[in-house]
Amino acid sequence: MEKLVRKANQNDLNGIAEIHHRSFIRQADSKQWIASTLAAYPRFFCYLIEFERTVGYIFWAQKSGFRAEVILELDQIAIHPDFQGLGLSKKLIVESIKDIENELLKNNQKIKSVLVTTGVNNFARKIYEDLLNAQEVAIISDLYSAPEVYLKANREDLVFLD
């Protein structure tokens, strides 16, 4: 079966909420969190990846208002535990950001930078550094359960968009 990345909508709520609940065990009320994020377009761009069923999702956020040069933040990404390690997160990141760039261009906007925050010891950090060419710009202690690292990539660092 083809791995399909597409925009998510309210009809995808239950599948995404299940993945959220399993992936972020410290967070409460997955359904409300996902529903409110799905309803926040174009502030948030929401995508999912299907492989037999919904197996992952990604939320991107426009930071600090609608601007001609967009600061795009990878707000949240999760792959169902049964489907991790298959390269799905990379496919989800690349295909969703390509679609977002095309959508922004229609509104006379362009991506200026991409921000990513993650736990300093999160294995996904390497994906962000390698795939997005993101560089560490700050670490904040005592934000969540462990220190968070802030990574930043400029548009020209996103070589898969060229």
Q: DSSP labels for 90-111?
A: HHHHHHHHHHHHHHHHHTT-EE
- For each of the chain's 162 residues, which pLDDT tens digit applies? 577 999 999 999 999 999 999 998 887 899 999 999 999 999 999 999 998 899 999 999 999 899 999 999 999 999 999 999 999 999 999 999 999 999 999 999 999 999 999 999 888 999 999 999 999 999 999 887 789 999 999 999 999 998
- What are the structural domains of the chain? 4-161 (3.40.630.30)
How many whole angstroms separate alpha carbon 154 and alpha carbon 45?
19
